[in-house]
Amino acid sequence: MKSKSFEKTIKIWIAVGMISITALTVFGVTFFFYFTHDLPSIEALKNYKPSTVTKIFSEEGEVIGEYCYEKREVISLDRVPSFLIQAFVAGEDARFFHHRGVDYLAVLRALYRNIFSGEIVQGGSTITQQVVKSLLLSPEKSYTRKIREAILAYKIEKYLTKEEILFLYLNQIYLGHGAYGIAMAAENYFGKTLEELNIGEAALLAGLPQAPSKYSPHQNPQQAKKRQIYILNRMVEEGFISSVESNKAIQFPYSIRSKVKPFVEKAPHFVEHIRRYLEEKYGRDTLYKNGLQVFTTVDLNYQKTAQEALESGLKEIEKRQKYSPANMPLNLDGALICLDIETSYVKALVGGRDYRKSQFNRAIHARRQTGSAFKPIIYASALDKGYTPASIIVDSPIVFEWGDQKWKPKNYEGRFSGPTTLRNALTHSINVVTVKIAQDIGVNYIRDYAKKLGISSSLYQELSMALGSSSISLFELTKAYAVFANQGRSFKPIFIKKILDRDGNLLEENLPPFYFEEFPSEEQVITPQTAFLITYLMEGVVQHGTGWRARALGRPVAAKTGTTDQFMDAWFIGYTPEVITGVWVGFDDERSLGENETGSRAASPIWVAYMSKILKDKPKKDFSLPEGVEFMKIDPKTGLIGEGRESILECFIEGTGPSQKALSPLKTTTDFFKFDFNFSTKTK
């Protein structure tokens, strides 16, 4: 009986055992399947390419702008000092090099220390688990996620080396104030590279992962110091450093960098223009995630000088117009752009006096009436239509009628000077003569001519175009003048020298025109002779006309002023053989600058202040003289060959100079006039 009872018991236990094993197996398989069936792949970790910072560099190589979703710079492990790695290991995962992804002893130790300290000073997650949480799983807090995290940590330890895991961890971890990864944290907090860090600074960084806000040296310097000491003590406990090194690091003072970005005010409108371009061409994700390196043309010395000159000039206007805090318009503003003639580089761009108050780029996006600043385009058009600098046009009243409306152009001073040369008309910005020239050569011809020079804005299809009634940006008008300075060749301003991707591959490169001697990148849009003639005429504007303030440079300068009705806009655009600079001054809401605030008075002092400084130590150069031009002495009153003391040296395209000598005394001038004295015309 006992034998049968024993056998029965054995069978029962065997059955129970088999059922239990089967149940455990089923449970295990179910458990495993439940937690692993939709785990993310870890293969992507081999090709780790996180979101990194796109950096904008000045011509000198200084960072002037950054764009990112996560502020990070990916660095290789061989750049990381050993004590920095040891600091993170000591603080976050002392048994990192020994466990297989999950450290059960560390969990118990962390629980013990946190209970006795009264706060969380140590976490139980390994570095591998933190990599999983950051790169593969959501940050939700649940037992299910912790189990999945442990499984993935185990798999990662089999798939990657410890060094590869550290590489991921140190580049991915968030360390506060927008800094992801240790390289960006070193720059953010200390303004240093990783190689420049000391042990104390390394310990401070290693104390941040636990709670970046709580241990931030910006927000809680005492807590940050306390955490730093804890990390240093842990490094001693783990044998990474000696007690002497720890004490020295604790006592050594560290300097925390200001949270204010040092480059924000250096060239803000320029950088914003670059950002818009990058986003439009390469896409928002590429700009903010792919860590482009953008090397630009802006010269920070030029840029700073431009910002200072504009601000000083605007303050002078406010002082002159006696604006008080009570009545001073808040939006008196201006813009400046400077281009290098030889390289086509944009050397400086100021889109407004205070980027913090207004991000609107008045140099590129504002379109304002140009006044007389448009006249050089009219006169260049006339030169290509058979006029010469010595052509005589009568400055006399003219009336245009259409229906019951009339338009009677007036000169700035309200006087008429009678027969005058084309040179004199441009030098003294005579409106009536300019309108007569425009009527003669046609507004369609002028429109097409302006387009050749790079003007893309719509122009009024009427004669008022000649007096600058069309609205054009400072950028457009300055680069149109640049064609004259560039000997008639097209001028395409370069903002960006080159763009590299995160791996250093070249995405885009813009070389100066002189790199393409065999296959020129510039089109000859007007002849070199016409370009020189208009330059020579605008030198006269500086020497004898409204651009007289530019004589202060003491070197060859060609320039033109511009003033619109009621002194709403003031312009000054001028160039030397090296650089061209355009200045605009006005109110955003298009009100008057004040009585007599002309281009000469309001804008040219800014131009002179800027150009004087940037050209101070540069040798003087003359404008290049092309073949096919000749100089003749002429009578400035008749435009004929002159021999008297009042004769001036005039420039002509070969074969177009006058063949007659000036009559003495002058018997008649009718043969020299392009228009009669009194002129009335009907238009549709």
Residue-wise burial string across 489-519, b where 16 or more C-beta atoms lie within 10 A, e elsewhere: bbbebbbbbebbebeeeeeeebeebeeeeee
**E strand or H helix at 111:** helix 104-117
What is residue 306's three-state secondary structure? helix
* Residue whose tokens read 């928002």: 284
> Is the CB of residue 264 less than 8 Å from the CB of residue 56?
no
Taking the C-alpha atoms of residue 445 and residue 332, their distance in angstroms, rounded to an integer, is 36
Q: What's the token pair of residue 327?
A: 């009545």
Give all strands of the β-sheet with 346-350 in edge-to-edge order. Answer: 346-350, 332-340, 579-587, 569-575, 558-563
Strands 368-369, 506-509: pairing kind: unpaired
Instruction: Find the length of the chain.
Output: 684
Residue found by looking up tokens 């002189």 in the block: 514
Instruction: Tell me which residue of 546, 601, 598 sits closest to 567, measured CA to CA.
Output: 598
Report the candidate in 62, 516, 70 with the shortest Cα–Cα distance to residue 295.
Answer: 62
Can you read off the two tokens belonging to residue 400? 């245009």
From the candidates 216, 372, 381, 429, give the one annotated as an active-site residue: 372
CA-CA-CA-CA dihedral for 190, 195, 200, 202, to nearest 10: 80
Distance CA 28, CA 125 (A): 24
Catalytic annotation on 372?
yes
CA distance 162 to 149: 17
The verdict on whether 643 is a catalytic residue reads no
* Active-site position among 58, 59, 73, 92: 92
Q: Catalytic residue numbers? A: 92, 372
